[in-house]
């Protein structure tokens, strides 16, 4: 049985481990995305006067529409690493930045977070779209179901007196032994963080399937609506909801929350969408982010996710999975721990490859025919 599990651990590790290594390394970088983005693009992300009250969003909308002679389609509000406004204007691909303190135009960027968007794309999709998302999701699932469980089984010592060998690096060991200890010891100590990161990562790749499992486990009977199918009913007798009206709704419905984003309809069947969040800065604990979908003609709320009153299964995935996956659940401690956790798949994969090559070489030497020299007189 142990030999079978060892083979399963080996071959799944060699294949899925290579993919998870890339996902983990990019994930380690993205843990500190807020700080890195603000540092790399300080001219666009940092306010000219952070202590000053933020300019009203309506002022930004008016400036952008006058400057580009087009309607504002999306607003991203000053939040977390972003101290300024970002807007998307209809017919314009670039993201436009406005100073949060003065409302002044700062510049444009093709991608919202610049190079960090590339890091996220590699992390989620390996730069190959939905196929990449499926591949990373399957690799993460194999890590959760196969590699961690089989690794724990193989780690367990036959005798209690050998328990210490699985908890520490043996001093004065050879390279081969040290590599084996690194694989075994670090794999054990990071098994829980790796489990949490990978499990929540599977959710981002297969959200509907994971949500169904979570709902079943938590006995949540109310289904989660597919938000991609939430549409407005086309009307010709009513004017469309304006962006100013949508801003009013954000303030009226959630006065104690911080505005996160507002997205206006892309076509006649689309809906108005906005979200707010409980904390303006990165905070420990769950993320409470109400999300609202509104009919663009009647102003009627088509669906609103309420983080405090939603069914248990929905609260678990929407309130907890994001801060858990990005290491924000415990503040700076878990963010730093998650950074090192992201390095572990690559470390375990490389050390695992070395172990495999060493054993392969050993088996070849053992199977090699023995050459007997003829006796000489």
For 75, phi then psi, to 5°, come to -125, 130
Same domain for 132 and 6, yes or no, is yes
CA angle 286, 248, 231 (to 5 degrees): 75
**Position 278 in a domain:** yes
Considering the domain architecture, whether residues 258 and 197 belong to the same structural domain is answered as no
Question: Can you give the pLDDT at residue 224?
Answer: 78
- Residues 216, 293: one domain? no
What is the average per-residue pLDDT within 187-215? 95
Q: What is the pLDDT of residue 358?
A: 86
The C-alpha angle with vertex 23 and arms to 31 and 131, in degrees rounded to 5, equals: 125
**How many angstroms separate the Cα of 71 from the Cα of each of 62, 79, 109, 247, 310?**
9, 23, 18, 15, 34
pLDDT above 70 for 238: yes
Dist. CA 363–CA 358, nearest whole Å: 9
HSE-CB at 87 with a 13 A cutoff on CA atoms is 29
Whether residue 377 has pLDDT greater than 80: no
Do 269 and 164 lie in one domain? The reply is no
User: Is residue 279 exposed (0-12), middle (13-18) or buried (19+ Cβ within 10 Å)?
Assistant: middle
Q: Are strands 72-76 and 301-305 parallel, antiparallel or unpaired?
A: unpaired
Regarding whether 174 and 25 lie in a shared domain, the answer is yes
- The answer to the question of residue 253 being in a domain is yes
Pairing mode, if any, of strands 85-89 and 95-98?
antiparallel
Residues 147 and 165 in one domain: yes
At residue 170, the pLDDT reads 85
* 234 and 215 fall within a common domain: no
| pTM beyond cutoff 0.95 | no
Same domain, 161 and 250: no
Between the alpha carbon of residue 128 and those of residues 124, 132, 299, the distances in Å are 10, 5, 38
Confidence of residue 371 (pLDDT cuts 50, 70, 90): low
End-to-end distance of the chain based on CA atoms, in angstroms?
Answer: 53
Same domain, 202 and 236: no
Q: How far is CA 328 from CA 282, 319, 324, in A?
A: 7, 12, 6
What CATH number is given to the structural domain containing 277? 3.10.450
pLDDT band at residue 164, thresholds of 50, 70 and 90?
confident
Residue 98 domain flag: no
Task: Report yes or no on 7 lying in a domain.
Answer: yes
> Residue 153: inside a domain, yes or no?
yes
In-domain check, residue 251: yes
Q: What is the mean pLDDT of the chain?
A: 92
Residue 161 resides in a domain: yes
CA angle 301–304–308, rounded 5-degree value: 145
Residue 368 falls in which region: left (phi positive, over 0), alpha (psi -120 to 50) or beta: beta
Please report whether residue 24 resides in a domain.
yes
Q: How confident is the model at residue 74 (pLDDT cuts 50, 70, 90)?
A: very high
The DSSP letter of residue 166 is: G
Quick one: 216 and 241 in the same domain? no
Residues 144 and 266 in one domain: no
In whole angstroms, give the CA distance from residue 264 to residue 247: 11
SS3 249: helix
- Determine which helix (DSSP H) or strand (DSSP E) holds 150, and give its type and residue range: helix 148-155
Q: Are 37 and 130 in contact (CB under 8 A)?
A: no
Compute the distance between CA of residue 345 and CA of residue 334 in angstroms, rounded to an integer.
17
pLDDT at 369: 64
pLDDT in tens, 99-139: 999 999 999 999 999 999 999 999 999 999 999 999 999 99
Domain count for the chain, please give it: 2
User: Which structural domain range is residue 24 located in?
Assistant: 2-34+117-220+330-362
Single out the residue of 213, 23, 214, 233 nearest to residue 132, CA to CA.
Answer: 23
> Residue 318 gets which letter from DSSP?
I
The CA distances from residue 159 to 5, 9, 167, 295, in Å, are 19, 22, 14, 65
Which backbone phi and psi does 301 adopt, to 5 degrees? -75, 115
Q: Are residues 139 and 197 in the same domain?
A: yes
Structure tokens at 327: 């290491």
């Amino acid at each position: 049985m142990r030999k079978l599990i060892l083979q399963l651990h080996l071959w799944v590790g060699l294949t899925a481990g290579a993919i998870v290594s890339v996902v983990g390394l990019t994930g380690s970088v993205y843990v500190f995305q807020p700080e890195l983005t603000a540092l790399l693009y300080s001219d666009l992300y940092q306010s000219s006067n952070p202590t000053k009250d933020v300019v009203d969003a309506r002022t930004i909308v008016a400036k952008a529409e006058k400057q580009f002679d087009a309607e504002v389609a999306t607003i991203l509000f000053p939040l977390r690493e972003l101290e300024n406004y970002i807007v998307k204007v209809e017919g314009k691909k670039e993201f436009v930045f406005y100073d949060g303190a003065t409302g002044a135009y700062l510049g444009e960027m093709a991608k919202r977070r610049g190079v960090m968007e590339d890091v996220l794309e590699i992390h989620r999709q390996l730069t190959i779209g939905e196929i990449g998302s499926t591949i990373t999701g399957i690799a993460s699932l194999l890590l959760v179901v196969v590699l961690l469980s089989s690794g724990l089984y193989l780690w367990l010592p036959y005798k209690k007196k050998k328990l210490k060998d699985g908890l520490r690096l043996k001093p004065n060991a050879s390279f081969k032994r040290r590599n084996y200890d690194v694989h075994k010891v670090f794999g054990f100590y990071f098994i829980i963080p790796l489990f949490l990161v990978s499990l929540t990562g599977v959710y981002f790749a297969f959200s509907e399937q994971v949500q169904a499992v979570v709902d079943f486990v938590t006995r949540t009977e109310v289904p989660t609506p597919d938000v991609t199918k939430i549409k407005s009913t086309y009307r010709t007798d009513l004017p469309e909801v304006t962006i100013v009206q949508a801003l009013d709704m954000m303030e009226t419905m959630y006065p104690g929350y911080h505005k996160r984003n507002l997205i206006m309809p892309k076509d006649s069947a689309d809906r108005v969408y906005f979200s707010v969040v409980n904390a303006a800065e990165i905070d420990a604990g769950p993320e409470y982010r109400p999300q609202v979908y509104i009919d663009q003609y009647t102003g009627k709320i088509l669906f609103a996710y309420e983080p405090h009153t939603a069914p248990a299964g929905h609260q678990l995935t929407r309130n907890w999975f994001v801060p858990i996956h990005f290491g924000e659940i415990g503040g700076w401690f878990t963010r730093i721990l998650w950074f090192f956790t992201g390095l572990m798949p690559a470390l375990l994969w490389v050390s695992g490859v070395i172990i495999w090559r060493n054993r392969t070489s050993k088996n070849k030497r053992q199977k090699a025919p023995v050459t007997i020299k003829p006796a000489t007189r």
